[in-house]
Amino acid sequence: MYFLTNGQKFLAVLISLILLTIGTVSAVEDTTLSNTDSIESSTNDIKLDSSNSNDKSTYNLDLKINYEYSENNNVMNPTINIKESNNTLNLNKTYSNDIYQVKLNSNSNSILNITVSAPGYITQSQLLTINNNQSDLLGNLVFNMKATESYQLGRDVTAKADSLLNFNTADEILAITTAGVPKLNGQTSEDAIEAILNYGNRISYGLGNMLMLRQTATSPIDFCFVTRNGNKLNAVIFLNGSTTYSYLGSISENMTKAQWNQLYKAVGGENAFSFASLANGWYDNVSYLVLQEAAFHGHICEGTLGGYTITEALMQYYPPIKATDGGSGSPGDITSYKVLGIPGDSASDAVLFFLDATAGKSGYVGFDTTSTGATTNMMAFIRWKDAVVTYNKTSNKYEVTSPGSGTLILMQYNSAENKKLFEKETGIKGNGSLEQLKYNTWWINRINTNPASLVSILLEKENLTEKQYYYLIGSAKNITFPTSKNATNAGETRIEAIEAHGLDYNYIMSLNLPNAIRNNTIANRGNLTYNDFKEIGLRASNLAKDIFKKELGIEIEKGMPNFEILTTAGYSYIKEQSTEAVWDGIFEVFGSRLSRYTLLPDHRPMWKPLWFTFVLKQDDGKLMSVYIRYNEDGTYFIGSYNGTHVHDIGMNTLNNSKLSSAISSNVFPDGNWFNIQSLTNAWAGDLAFDQLVTFLFHGHACPGVQPGFFMTDYIQSNYPLNENESYFYIASSIYCKDDSLEYLLGISPGLGNYMDQRLTSDDVESDYINGATEEGVLVIWDNELNIGRAVIMNFKWATIDTSSAATSEAKRATTIQAFIDLYNGVSNPNIKEGNSILGSETRYITQEQFNFIKSGGGKDTNAISYLKSLPNMSKQDLLDSMKKNDNQNNGTVIVDNGGSSSSSSNSIQSNHGSSASNSLGSTSASNSNLGSSNNIGSNSVSSSSSSSSDAKGAAYEINQQASSSSGINSNNLIYAIILVLIIGAFAGFGFIKTRKNE
């Protein structure tokens, strides 16, 4: 948000005085705004003199609004705001013959500040004076609206793609873009998505042909447009925010090797496979939910589809029972399954996405446990029921009346067997990218016919005990009996704090537990069409519109920026069918979209009900809501309490525990009150787009998510990626912020560059900042030199004054808003002290030391302690040592195991040892699937200034290696792999993804 400079203020005041002196109707358009500027109503910056008279007169004002792109004229509904002094006037707006006719009540001899805004366009402001002799018609003002830079970029590449691919003659169109979180000149780029959606009516989220690839703030903005004509897929691709295309041609799995090589050379191997796999998956009619997950992950591959298949099999045999928490998180941090895995296989991302069992909700534990016998395509699931603890008045003690118990299922997808079956059925052999695309198609067809044949269940056990459960998932603190004044054993420890052991295969297989019994519930797939789902959204929207009109007397206009719809559409399944088409029904009534901040898809598990919350943000801050749930029999549940369907879910309600409880249980009976009220109050607080999508991915808003915002900024500012570098992070203190770190830093379990091993609270106390926590170990890995920089990330929470709030819900909302303002550089009186962030214990590490970190530091330590034990060597000293050892051992690299430290472990590299404080109003800155790379650290993400298309692109998985001395020269191995990739490209295999032998 930009405000008027002092010079602009002086000029505006001078103009105002001149207009008052002349005493005639006049209008001054603010022409000082550039293409990238936006301006709020400038009433607070300019003193607008007005008559002392309280007499109001009725005036009419005609506005002509012209958009930079003519297709937006007469289609886009602008927001018109008029202020008299500091008061916002009530308006009556009608539209006729290209003119917006506005009726208002105002004082005579006053100055009006008129602002016009529209999605993707720069807000404009004009001043208008009313004199004593003014007639009721104030005049006709013209606003020539200029699009934002991101909108211009999105509109220009879409128009160019149309001219090259001829959208009108295409059977179908697909748009893929990295726009959204990546920044263009310091601003997030969601307006580029808005421009794509506004170009005609053939691309929409509801049609399932708009995909937003997850990328970071520093990633380039890329676009890929695909047209289908019969069985032919053609694409045009624009890279690095350019309007000059990099590739034009076939993107079909049936392209020739020469065509693939052309695509590979033009856009780079990672981008080529990312765009091609998504395009062909879309062509194969894979579920849009799978496409969404693949866009989060970066591409479609065997692991993506394997994860979806595992999820379907899990829900068939062991459907969800009850969601439980995994630690001391917010009320929304509950999952129906706890998942154990080994990061590095795409299936991890898929399973966590579909089950909404993310690491930030303590739903996932994953680090390298291959030394226990586990493999990367294995995954374990725990359905857990918490222990029931009751107070016994006779014994004056708490007792566990029903012990905690769990079902443990170990599964894997049969990669080798599936590949053999694919080759047998199709006759296609090879591991190149073209073969991978065909393999994806084969998988998708099998998913639609016989998904259970693609996975194996290795173990099914019942009656997992509390001790066994916490051994696997870990617990930061002791599990104790409740605190009470009466019970003599209140606060006694039931389960001691313990580090997570994750997918410990040997331990799991040694458990002497009874076999579990399968449910074997087969869900029948429905036959609802796009129009059927769209109608569901239409009916729900019209119901809500009628309720607002009847109960509040308010007509909800299409395109109102202060009207939000929060929904599970797009994530929830109905009769085994995805529900994204519902979004188009909502848009038809309310003009709501994610790119406009007005349609918020809430990431929930696929079996959760389809619901909608329609919210009107009023001038007094109230958030008036209507809750509607769709039932599979075609009926709708409408939440009500005290005879009304419209309820305030803002701070007034949150600050009244009795009212909040009544609304929660009566209006929102589906266990989603916390998700809805937290997200809605955060939305009302003018949060940034990257904050919004991160909250939505996490499933709710809470203070716990927000440290990830600041840590990501700190990492990108203090450890920017150079060419051939990538981020890796292993979390030690695990809570909601891990989801925001994943989303914004471009890391995830499926990519192999995010792992977590929960440590105890005592293990993560910071040595450098009093009261801070050692959150985890960040590694900046250099794939070319085969070394990395490893640092411990320390974080101390800001001090927020919540004394003005009376309830825990209101205190949480107050804290969330304070962090939103802190991140956006907005002053907030409740912030007493900012965050403190520090990267400490910087060490340059070898490949083998890196492997130890990924295994949690080895058997008898953890990643943080292990890093502290390593000698503090300079980069050059480490390289010289590796070269010396290489020469002396004839190609065998001998590295320090971390058993001793030759120098003080408290030393910090000077360029990374400074603490960043976010003060008030400022922000400091084993086997893997066919989509995997054999290069550790191959997930290279370059800054937006990089000119190399091969260096940036969509991320791929990182293959995991167990810690061992292989006797192989690491540098020679890299050169050999690079040579294989080059040869593969010229052979027509492109970005080859091969499978390592065990």
- pLDDT interval class at 107 (50, 70, 90): confident
Closest CA to 974 of 804, 781, 832: 781
Alpha carbon 580 to chain centroid, angstroms: 17
**Mean pLDDT on 540-550:** 98
Most trustworthy range by pLDDT among 84-88, 265-269, 858-862: 265-269
Residue type, 151: Y
Asked if 757 contacts 730 with a C-beta cutoff of 8 angstroms, the reply is yes
Question: Bigger pLDDT: 34 or 546?
Answer: 546
pLDDT of 314 strictly over 60: yes
Average pLDDT over residues 585-601: 98
Cα(613)–Cα(627) distance, integer angstroms: 5
| Local confidence band at 327 (pLDDT 50, 70, 90 cut-offs) | low
Predicted confidence at residue 483, as pLDDT, reads 86
Buried b (16+ CB within 10 A) or exposed e, 556-572: beebbbebbbbbbbbbb
What pLDDT score does 250 carry? 98
Cβ atoms within 10 Å, residue 678: 27
Percent of the chain whose pLDDT exceeds 70 = 83
Cβ contacts of 82-86, under 8 Å, gap ≥ 24: 82/112, 82/113, 82/114, 82/115, 83/41, 83/43, 83/48, 83/112, 83/113, 83/115, 84/48, 84/50, 84/110, 84/111, 84/112, 84/113, 85/43, 85/48, 85/50, 85/110, 86/43, 86/44
Would you say 87 and 96 are in contact if contact means Cβ atoms under 8 Å apart? no
Whether the per-residue pLDDT at 193 is higher than 90: the answer is yes
**What is the model's pLDDT at position 106?**
85
d(CA 210, CA 221): 15
Residues 6 or more apart whose CB falls under 8 angstroms from that of 546 comprise none
Distance CA 351, CA 379 (A): 9
What number is the average pLDDT over the span 439-446? 94
- Residue 859 has a pLDDT of 80
**Closest Cα to residue 199, out of 87, 319, 70, 103?**
70
DSSP state of 780: E
Mean of per-residue pLDDT scores for the chain: 85
Contact 288, 426 (CB under 8 A): no
| Helix (H) or strand (E) segment spanning residue 401 | strand 397-402
- Per-residue pLDDT, averaged over 826-836, amounts to 97
pLDDT attached to residue 450: 78
pLDDT above 50 (res 363): yes
At residue 916 the predicted structure's pLDDT band, cuts being 50, 70 and 90, is: low
> In whole angstroms, what is the distance from residue 755 CA to residue 749 CA?
6
Q: Other CB atoms closer than 10 Å to residue 860's CB: what's the count?
A: 7
> Which amino acid is it at 126?
Q
Task: Report the distance separating Cα 293 and Cα 287, nearest Å.
Answer: 10
Split at pLDDT 50, 70, 90, the class of 961 is: very low
Q: How far is the C-alpha of 952 from the C-alpha of 941, rounded, in Å?
A: 5
Q: What is the C-alpha to C-alpha distance for residues 608 and 586, in angstroms, rounded to an integer?
A: 19
Element (H, E) at 145: strand 137-145
Instruction: Kindly tell me the sign of the dihedral angle through the C-alpha atoms of 334, 338, 342, 345.
Output: negative
pLDDT of residue 788: 98
| Predicted local confidence at residue 323, as pLDDT | 87
Does position 413 have pLDDT exceeding 70, yes or no?
Answer: yes
Nearest one of 648, 661, 592 to 809, comparing CA atoms: 661
Tokens read off for 559: 């395109």
What is the distance between the alpha carbons of residues 309 and 346, in angstroms, rounded to a whole number? 12
Give, for 211, the enclosing helix (H) or strand (E).
strand 210-212
State residue 929's pLDDT score.
30
pLDDT band at 22 (very low <50, low <70, confident <90, very high): very low
Comparing CA positions, the residue from 742, 716, 743, 717 lying closest to residue 729 is 742
Nearest in space to 466 (alpha carbons), one of 484, 483, 444, 481: 481
CA atoms within 13 A on the CB side of 301: 33
Q: Where are the alpha helices (DSSP H) in 144-242?
A: 149-165, 190-198
Distance of CA 582 to the CA centre of its chain: 21
**What pLDDT does 135 receive?**
75
192: pLDDT strictly greater than 70: yes
Q: Which residue would you say has higher pLDDT here, 495 or 938?
A: 495
Please say if the pLDDT value at position 921 is more than 70: no
The encoded tokens of residue 513 equal 């537990």
**pLDDT value at position 241?**
98
Q: Residue 647: pLDDT above 50?
A: yes
pLDDT > 90 in the chain, percent = 74
Intra-chain end-to-end CA distance of the chain, in Å? 54
User: What's at 617, amino acid-wise?
Assistant: K
Joined tokens for residue 304:
């993506």
**Apex 771 CA angle, 765 and 776, nearest 5:** 40
| Residue 596 identity (one-letter amino acid) | R
Contact 377, 306 (CB under 8 A): yes
* pLDDT of res. 903: 31
Binning pLDDT at 50, 70 and 90, where does residue 493 land? very high
pLDDT at 98 (0 to 100): 84
229 closest CA partner among 159, 172, 277, 163: 172
Cβ-based neighbours of 642, under 8 Å, separated by 6 or more? none
Helix/strand/coil (H/E/C) assignment for every residue in 846-890: CHHHHHHHHCCCCCCCCHHHHHHHCCCCCHHHHHHHHHHHHHHCC
State pLDDT tens for residues 372-399: 999 999 999 999 999 999 999 999 999 9
pLDDT score recorded for residue 545: 98
Residue with tokens 């005879």: 643
Residues 6 or more apart from 984 whose CB is under 8 A from it? 432, 990, 991, 992
- Does the pLDDT of residue 900 top 90, yes or no? no
pLDDT of 600 strictly over 90: yes
What confidence category does residue 127 fall into, taking pLDDT thresholds of 50, 70 and 90? very high
Whole-number Å distance between alpha carbons of 504 and 420: 29
Determine the pLDDT at residue 326: 66
SS3 228: strand
For the segment 208-214, the average pLDDT, to the nearest whole number, is 98
Give residue-wise pLDDT tens across range 161-176.
999 999 999 999 999 9
Whether residue 984 is predicted with pLDDT greater than 80 in this model: the reply is: no
Question: Can you list the positions of beta strands (E) in 501-579?
Answer: 563-567, 573-574, 577-578
Which pair of structure tokens corresponds to residue 770?
A: 């009093």
Model confidence at 992, pLDDT cuts 50, 70, 90, reads: very low
